[in-house]
Amino acid sequence: MDTRTNLPVFEPEKFMEQVANDRELSVEIIDLFLSEEPSQIAEMQRALAARDYNSLYVTAHTIKGSLGSLHAALARFHAEALESAAKKQDEPGCERSLSDLKHDLETLEPQLLNLRDSNRA
């Protein structure tokens, strides 16, 4: 079964419900995620290259929580897979999951920016 087809990239309606339809708060949360995400990806890449599975686990766990709060189910799924692979010190699993996560984030970012921009209006 291909999990990618069954999980949404982003559920803006659920995210807005979570923030009680507070447009300003949604913008703050999105901006915070977008400002932290590049350094988190860089840290996970560094940790994987160094085989620092503990740091990889911690950062994957952190971004997993952020993605859950955003209602970005597909990326959250891959962050959780990365977290699990790091815990097992499964290097091929970590590489695959990090690659999937990066792809998901490339798809998610324009959707977040679109919602942020529409909520600023």
Give 15-53 pLDDT, tens digit per residue: 999 999 999 999 999 999 999 999 999 999 999 999 999
pTM of the prediction? 0.92
pLDDT at 5: 60
Q: Is the dihedral of CA 118, 41, 87, 103 positive or negative?
A: positive
**Owner of token pair 């999951």:** 97
- Which CATH superfamily includes the segment(s) 20-120? HPT domain (1.20.120.160)
Question: What's 89's DSSP letter?
Answer: T
Q: Where are the domains of the chain?
A: 20-120
Please tell me the distance from the alpha carbon of residue 42 to that of residue 50, in angstroms, as a whole number. 12
Instruction: For residue 6, name the pLDDT band (cuts at 50, 70, 90).
Output: confident
